[in-house]
Structure 1
Amino acid sequence: MTPTAQTFPDPEAALAGAQFADRYVLITDGLALTAHGAAEHTLGRAPRWISRLTQLRNLAVRPFGLKTGAEPDMLPESRIGIFPLISQAPGRVVLGLDDRHLDFRMLVEVKDLGAGRQEVAVSTIVKTHNLLGRMYLAVVKPFHRIIVPAMLAQVLTKSS
């Protein structure tokens, strides 16, 4: 099964003032994932092509003083992959970062569907602050729509 795009129901509830939100969903069978486990499988390690795109992105935004991921002194348990962990509850992990140009949240949610099946969803919510944030979002959106489903699909390959 491949991830499918869905509309995120209420971006304002996740991040006040959000201008962008999307959601990708994958149905699993027999994996018994927690939200934290699903986040680790999805975001803990990127395929090489995504890592290379991220390196290019980091080089491009560094002159603008934008953050390029988790702070180097951040403890491993306070992040998943490069994303700072904001909160976690049963069935949901919230990751994110606030910066000068935009704030974003990434929600990883797991819902039991019964009979050993689970719905794993990754949602991204963004609030831009200025022209740089709006330009950045416009540039990364096409890549985001390819990268997030590819990362989410790792749940199937890493868990089996």
Structure 2
Amino acid sequence: MSSLEEVRVPPQSALRATAQRAHYRDCYRMDVPTTDVTLDDAVRAFFHGAPAWVRQAMALRDRVMGRLGYHTQGPEPAQSLEGVRFEPGTTLGLFHIYERHERELIMGSDDRHLNFRVSILLDQEPTRTWLYITTTVELHNTMGRLYFGLIKRPHRLVVRSMMRNIRQALLAAPTA
């Protein structure tokens, strides 16, 4: 049985200092009962982990926000991840990769209304791996506050749903 819980940003996360001063932060943790998980496996599963209802909601968000001049996702990044190097400077849809560490990848986007960061962190124990996904948001103006006010509740549902899908993908992977 998997355990998915909201927790504090782990002390080993490079996003911890940013999280302390962010306008919004959340962190979820889930166990994956294997030690054969790599950071690239987890990041790839993140991009493949969006349920259909999330992809549809993002397409609607892109149509509306694109007309207002905001960043949009563009082509779905999950379609072609073979050979992609998850390194700083790479951009996949809305996500620009800012940092990569041995067990953590930090990505996000900066826009005129808000900046967000997402951390995917693996903490391996002898019999399992803990997967952490942390989100931080810095709001810049009224539009940012309005926009984030609308997506805050759905965001939490999206992250939980994606984490369950990521876990399934990691357990089904040939290395797991």
Same fold (TM over 0.5): yes
* Counterpart in the other structure of 1:106: 118
Q: Secondary structure at the match of 2:106?
A: strand
- Measured at CA, do residues 71 and 157 of structure 1 come closer, stay the same or move farther in structure 2, by a change above 3 Å? closer
- Which residue in 2 is equivalent to 1:97? 109
Of 132, 138, 141, the residue aligned with 1:127 is 138
Question: 1:38 maps to what in 2?
Answer: 42
- Structure 1's 12 and 24: CA in aligned 2 closer, same or farther, altered over 3 A? closer
2:4 corresponding residue in structure 1: 3
Normalised by the length of structure 1, the TM-score is 0.86
The whole-number CA distance in structure 1 between the counterparts of 2:121 and 2:48 is 15
In the TM superposition, what is the alpha-carbon distance from 1:143 to its structure 2 partner? 0.6
Q: Distance in 1 between matches of 2:57 and 2:47?
A: 15
Please point out which of 159, 162, 167 is paired with 1:148.
159
Structure 2: where are the runs of 5+ without partners?
none
Which runs of structure 2 are paired with 1:13-92 in the superposition (5 Å)?
Answer: 13-14=17-18, 17-69=21-73, 76-77=84-85, 78-80=90-92, 82-92=94-104
Q: Measure how far apart 1:85 and its partner are.
A: 1.3
Query: TM-score by structure 2 length?
Result: 0.79
Equivalents in 2 of 1:156, 1:130: separation in Å?
A: 36
Deviation at 1:49, TM superposition (A): 1.0
With 2-11 and 100-109 compared, the bigger mean Cα shift is at 2-11
Question: Match of 2:116, SS?
Answer: strand
Distance across 2 between alignment mates of 1:15 and 1:97 = 15
**Letter of the 2:24 counterpart:** F
Q: 1:94 to 1:70 in 2, by over 3 A?
A: farther
Q: Which amino acid aligns with 1:60?
A: V
Q: Does the aligned pair in 2 maintain the 1:15–1:127 contact within 8 Å?
A: no
- Relative to structure 1, is the Cα distance of residues 151 and 107 closer, same or farther in structure 2, using a 3 angstrom cutoff? same
Distance 2:25 2:6 in 1: 11
